[in-house]
Amino acid sequence: MLRRFDKRMHLAEMLLALKLHGKQDVFRRRHPFSEDIAGTNAVLFSSHYSKVRKRKAYRNWLEAVPNQPCIFGRIASKNNNIFICLLEEQEVLNMEKGDEDLRNTIQDHRQVWKRYALEGLSSAFVIVLVSESLAIKQPSDDLKEVCRRLMELYMEIDGIADDTILPQREYVFLRRQTQNGNTQLLKFSTLPNIFCAQGDGRWWHDHRTPGGIMITSNALGHFVYSRFGKAQLDHASTIWALENAMRTISNAYRGPSSSRGSSSTHCPATFLIPAAEDEISPLRPTSDLFGLSADHYQGYFHTDHMIPSVYFQEAPNTKKLALYENLSFRYIYDPIADPEGHSQLMTGEEANWYDVKRSLDRLPAFVDPEKTPGLPRAMHDRLKRWLSEESNRRLRT
């Protein structure tokens, strides 16, 4: 085990320390990466492919049905509604000002995503840190610190603690037309999650990724509005979201021996439970999910925790894994039981141009959201060129 990383270390220094001194993942020698991960890694780790090709390979992995349990992610990827910030290890090591440049590069991508989101073109943001040497290291406190630093640079917050829900939210905006033809601005909250290559084949397999480390932020209410194009989030839309959220939990990895029953008492890591006798379900009686709780589910990690510490234990005592028994679905459909969650995550809250422009203050003037509604192809291409130029400008020549 390496010494605990100093908080003053840059992420590039952490990557080098893990590369040179980190322990190889013994589990990976016995359990090679799954075929889908290995195939995507072959593209991501190769110097023969461009970033455009690598983003496409990653998007294809997200889209493939067996690879990820999240139905919303599959749909978004298939429709090109996920905005990807792909960071290669050598690129991070080459940034002249270290974490300052890395933070700026991430923030540029973050704001371009939000500009797309304003027009309903993207509801999900993905940051992928591609590092072959990192992907084959064992889970450890040092790997956790790399994940923490990447999350802090993204969220622009110092000191994100283990196993906590951060009070500061990530917001994304949507410009839409109301039923009377007026323009309305809504903001939606989302909580980022960490995924790691080390999860592949382990009990937390559902939070695996090709490449190394991935952070994802998904705005569910924004996604539903954008997908259906409705002026109001009606009952049918929220029940569609609920059923697919329940199916996402139900799709969780069941272990390598799933055909004969799981080989681990902690697979699946998240699972649906039967509805209580007195539970009134919003689901139709004809739904295949009827009879299962639409109120809450359970899991061996908290799905809203930014840094779940259990991922990073080399050999966790699985007998002592905490069971989270009340992971809620209610924010999706119940404004009475969870008014704050429902408004922030699903229906959206009223915003104004000051809110929007403050969140897009890095972007060039030609994409001023108030003066340039929509995002035509020419502007789209110009924005991509600006993003590439800004990123390249920070690299040592």
99-106 contacts, C-beta under 8 A, 24 or more apart: 99/10, 99/11, 99/12, 99/149, 99/153, 101/394, 102/10, 102/11, 102/12, 102/153, 103/153, 103/156, 104/390, 104/394, 105/390, 105/391, 105/394, 106/153, 106/154
Q: Is residue 5 part of a domain?
A: no
- Note the pLDDT of residue 257: 59
Q: Is residue 4 part of a domain?
A: no
Q: Is residue 3 part of a domain?
A: no
- Note the pLDDT of residue 260: 41
Cis-peptide, bond into residue 69, ω within 30° of zero: no
Token reading at 80: 């090109």
- Note the pLDDT of residue 196: 98
- For every one of its 397 residues, what pLDDT tens digit does the chain have, with 9 covering 90 and above? 444 677 789 999 999 999 999 999 999 999 999 999 999 999 999 999 999 999 999 999 999 867 778 888 888 888 888 999 999 999 999 999 999 999 999 999 999 999 999 999 999 999 999 999 999 999 999 999 999 999 999 999 988 999 999 878 899 999 987 778 788 999 999 989 999 999 999 999 999 999 999 999 999 999 999 998 877 889 999 999 999 999 999 999 998 754 444 456 788 999 999 999 999 999 999 999 999 999 999 999 999 999 999 999 876 666 678 899 999 999 999 999 999 999 999 999 999 999 999 999 999 999 999 988 888 889 999 999 999 999 999 998 7
- Note the pLDDT of residue 318: 63
Q: Is residue 136 part of a domain?
A: yes
Q: For residue 65, count CB atoms less than 10 angstroms from its CB and return exposed for 0-12, middle for 13-18, buried for 19 or more.
A: exposed
Q: Measuring CA to CA, which residue among 294, 271, 291 is closest to residue 282?
A: 294
- Note the pLDDT of residue 2: 45
Looking at the chain, how many residues does it have? 397
- Note the pLDDT of residue 182: 82
| Ordered DSSP codes for 303-327 | TT-SS-GGGG-SS--GGG---EEEE
- Note the pLDDT of residue 320: 76
Residue 393 near residue 385, CB atoms below 8 Å: no
Output the pTM of the full model: 0.94
- What distance in Å separates the CA atoms of residue 333 and residue 338, rounded to the nearest whole number? 9
Q: Is residue 195 part of a domain?
A: yes
How far lies 247's CA from each of 37, 71, 86, 101, 228, in Å? 23, 8, 29, 40, 19
Q: Is residue 331 part of a domain?
A: yes
Q: Is residue 41 part of a domain?
A: yes
| Domain span at 112 | 11-393
Q: Is residue 6 part of a domain?
A: no
- What distance in Å separates the CA atoms of residue 325 and residue 342, rounded to the nearest whole number? 20
The domain total for the chain is 1
Phi, psi for 375 (deg, rounded to 5): -145, 80
